[in-house]
Amino acid sequence: MSEPILRLTGVNKSFGPVHVLHDVDFAVWPGEVTALVGDNGAGKSTLVKSVAGIHTADSGLIEFRGKPVTVHSPRDAADLGIEVVYQDLALADNLDIVQNMFLGRERGTPWLLDEASMEQAARETLASLSVRTVKSVRTPVSALSGGQRQTVAIAKAVLWDSNVVLLDEPTAALGVAQTRQVLDLVRRLAEQGIGVVLISHNMADVFEVADRIAVLYLGRMVAEVPTDEVTHSQVVELITAGRSGDLGLARPESAAI
C-alpha cells in the first residue's frame, strides 16, 4: 500500500469551551475514496474546515506527502492542491460554467482574458470526468439542475491538478438519477489518482463508492476501516454508539478493569 497523501495525527480543535475534535487521526490515500461519516455535530465539518484552512487546528500534526505542513488559509490549502466542494456549492449563478470554473484564477493577462483557452480547458476537464449532461459550457449556472451544478463545482475543484478533493454532502439535495451521476463522478475522481474525501449521511452512497470508512463520534475518530470489512449495521452502530463489537471505543467495563 502506498503512503497516504494527507495524514492528520492527534488533531484537536476547540471553539471556546466546546472541545469539537479530540486527538483525531485521519488519513487520505491517493486513488481512494474515504468516506467521513458521523452524526450531526460529530465534528465532520470542523475536520474538513481544518484541512481547508478555514479553521486552524489548536494542536496536532498535518502531513502532506509525508511532510509536515501548516494550513492557515484557503490559499495554503489551494497551494497544496487541496480543494473543497462545499454543500452550498459557492457558484456565481449569473456566470457561465467556464467563468465559474476559472473564477479567481482566470487565464490570460489581467487586461485580456484568454477565453478560448479557458473554454477549451473547461470542456476537456468535463470530458475527462465523462460529464455528458451539460449541453454547452457557456450555459449560465442559473440554468443548470442541482446535479449539474454539483458537477460543475466538482469539475472546478478538479481543474487545478488537485491532489485531495473534499466533498461535503454532494448528494444531499439531489434526486435519484442525479445522485447516480455524482457518485459516478466521485469514483472517476479517485480513478484519476486523487485522494477523495466524501462526507455523507447516506449509507447506501458510502458503501457504494467508498474504499474505506472513517467514523467520527462526538469529536473522536472511533474507526477507520476498509469498506469491505464492515457491514452496514456496524457502521450505523459506530455512528450512533461509538462502538460495534471489537470496533470503536473500548467497552466501559473493559476500560474500568
Return residues touching other proteins (CB under 8 A).
74-75, 78, 86, 89-95, 99-100, 103-106, 110-113, 119, 123, 126-127, 130-138, 142-143, 147, 176-178, 181
Closer to other proteins at the Cβ: 134 or 249? 134
CA dihedral 90, 92, 97, 103 (to 10 degrees): -80
Closer to other proteins at the Cβ: 134 or 236? 134
Smallest distance, other proteins to C-beta of residue 30, A? 25
Q: How far is 95 from 103, CA to CA, in rounded Å?
A: 9
β-bridge partners, 27: 7
| 105 CA to centre of own chain | 21
Closer to other proteins at the Cβ: 126 or 215? 126
Smallest distance, other proteins to C-beta of residue 230, A? 31
Closer to other proteins at the Cβ: 3 or 124? 124
Q: What is the per-residue DSSP string for 161-192?
A: T-SEEEEESTTTT--HHHHHHHHHHHHHHHHT
Smallest distance, other proteins to C-beta of residue 100, A? 8
Residue ranges with strand state E in the chain: 6-15, 18-28, 33-38, 59-64, 67-68, 82-85, 108-109, 112-113, 164-168, 195-199, 212-217, 220-226, 243-244, 247-248
CA distances from 252 to 205, 224, 255, 256, 257 (A): 32, 20, 5, 6, 9
Closer to other proteins at the Cβ: 89 or 235? 89
Smallest distance, other proteins to C-beta of residue 126, A? 6
Looking up cell 439535495 gives 173
Closer to other proteins at the Cβ: 142 or 240? 142
Smallest distance, other proteins to C-beta of residue 129, A? 10
Smallest distance, other proteins to C-beta of residue 112, A? 6
Smallest distance, other proteins to C-beta of residue 95, A? 6
Closer to other proteins at the Cβ: 92 or 204? 92
Looking up cell 454532502 gives 169
**b/e burial code for range 101-122 (CB count within 10 A of at least 16 → b):** bbeeeeeeeeeeeeeeebbebb
